[in-house]
Amino acid sequence: MTAQIIDGKQVAAALRAELQEKVAQLKDKGIVPGLAVVLVGEDPASKSYVTAKEKACGNIGIYSEDIRLPAETPQAELMALVDKLNKDDKINGILVQLPLPKHLDEGEVLLAIDPAKDVDGFHPVNVGKMMLGQKAFLPCTPHGVIQLLLKSNVKIEGAEVVIVGRSNIVGKPLANMLIQKNATGNATVTVCHTRTKNLADHTLKADILIAAAGAPNMITADMVKAGAVVIDVGVNRVDDATKKRGYRLTGDVDFEAVKEKAGLITPVPGGVGPMTITMLLYNTVESAEKAAGLK
Ligand code: GUN
């Protein structure tokens, strides 16, 4: 069996069209959602993510500020910037691109962001609310994965979900969201990580297998149950001399082999990636609506 491909670009485009419409309606009321994206340093992958976020904002009419700081920026300077953005009425969402250079205290920076502008859903207040099942900004990649599953008519309730990877950005929040007692939860979730023994014993049980480990092609066909839904969150740059830019993007899943075994599968690129940015736009619009007292 060859898997059906989940087209993240198409799902994202439909959601972005709805958001664009909403942004236009807000503009009629004099409200322009604003997002500040802060990048410290020169990490090439981070630079391209940030550029893509900026472009996506422009495309749907969200105001955005692109703030790029040198790698050696001191902690106090970054904290002062966050404080300034917290107080700026034009800005409804603040995103500090991670990872930060090693000398910076990521936890302190995330804690300083006003939870009402934390469109990444990384502030402990929002993480706590999410865990308690209260309304909060949901982190964009896990939220995007869930939207992709829903739009692909995958039944989450009762499914055996196996997540490979326990990051704060994907694995941990996604596991939490999928066990919530709500319409997008009620799954049975196993989280595997670098210390998991016999990884394949777990992954072979998955109705929905989510790879978010950051290891190229680590999920091979022999680790996947026939007919499973396979979601690849990995975005890895692999050297490739045949490409003009010298690398190609590859996921955590050995796509060519796994697509012959899975029932549904996301490609990289063009799967989860476009959804992450879409959910960022969604959170920014929602934040602007809340700030204007409309929600
Ligand atoms: N680095 C990788 N993914 C993300 C994300 O969703 N938000 C931020 N701020 N940094 C990231």
* Contacting residues for 210 by C-beta, under 8 A, at least 6 apart: 145, 161, 162, 163, 164, 165, 174, 231, 233
Which helix (H) or strand (E) covers residue 107, if one does?
helix 106-112
164 and 61 part of one domain: no
From CA 84, how far away is CA 80, in angstroms rounded?
A: 6
What value does the mean pLDDT take over residues 4-20? 98
* Ligand 1 contacts CB of residue 236 (under 6 A): no
Asked whether the predicted pLDDT for residue 188 surpasses 90, the reply is yes
246 and 165 part of one domain: yes
Choose one of 35, 40, 120, 237 to mutate for the ligand 1 pocket test, by most ligand atoms within 8 angstroms of C-beta: 120
Which helix (H) or strand (E) covers residue 232, if one does?
strand 229-232
Expressed in angstroms and rounded, the spacing between residue 12 Cα and the centre of ligand 1 is 18
Cis-peptide into 70, omega within 30 deg? no
185 and 95 part of one domain: no
Expressed in angstroms and rounded, the spacing between residue 38 Cα and the centre of ligand 1 is 11
Cβ–Cβ under 8 Å, residues 36 and 67: yes
Protein residue with least CA distance to atom 11, ligand 1? 98
**What's 43's domain CATH number?**
3.40.50.10860
From CA 92, how far away is CA 45, in angstroms rounded?
A: 25
Q: Flag whether 90 is in a domain.
A: yes
Query: pLDDT confidence of 1, banded at 50, 70, 90?
Result: confident
For residue 65, give the amino acid letter: E
61 and 170 part of one domain: no
Q: Flag whether 78 is in a domain.
A: yes
Range(s) of the domain holding residue 264: 140-273
246 and 155 part of one domain: yes
Cβ–Cβ under 8 Å, residues 202 and 223: no
What is the structure's pLDDT at 12?
A: 98
What is the structure's pLDDT at 202?
A: 98
46 and 90 part of one domain: yes
166 and 267 part of one domain: yes
62 and 145 part of one domain: no
Expressed in angstroms and rounded, the spacing between residue 46 Cα and the centre of ligand 1 is 8
Q: Flag whether 67 is in a domain.
A: yes
Q: Is beta strand 247-250 parallel, antiparallel or unpaired with respect to 236-239?
A: antiparallel
From CA 63, how far away is CA 51, in angstroms rounded?
A: 14
Query: pLDDT confidence of 72, banded at 50, 70, 90?
Result: very high
| Boundary residue ending a domain (46, 80, 114) | 114
Please return the burial class of 49, using the count of CB atoms within 10 Å of its CB with bins 0-12, 13-18 and 19+: buried
Cβ–Cβ under 8 Å, residues 202 and 196: yes
Query: pLDDT confidence of 17, banded at 50, 70, 90?
Result: very high
pLDDT tens digits along 73-101? 999 999 999 999 999 999 999 999 999 99
Choose one of 97, 100, 104, 141 to mutate for the ligand 1 pocket test, by most ligand atoms within 8 angstroms of C-beta: 97
What value does the mean pLDDT take over residues 40-54? 95
pLDDT tens digits along 98-131? 999 999 999 999 999 999 999 999 999 999 999 9
Cβ–Cβ under 8 Å, residues 231 and 210: yes
100 and 204 part of one domain: no
Q: Flag whether 130 is in a domain.
A: no
* Ligand 1 contacts CB of residue 140 (under 6 A): yes
Q: Flag whether 9 is in a domain.
A: no
From CA 78, how far away is CA 73, in angstroms rounded?
A: 7
Domain count for the chain? 2
84 and 150 part of one domain: no
Atom of ligand 1 nearest to the CA of 95: 9
* Ligand 1 contacts CB of residue 39 (under 6 A): no
What is the structure's pLDDT at 96?
A: 98
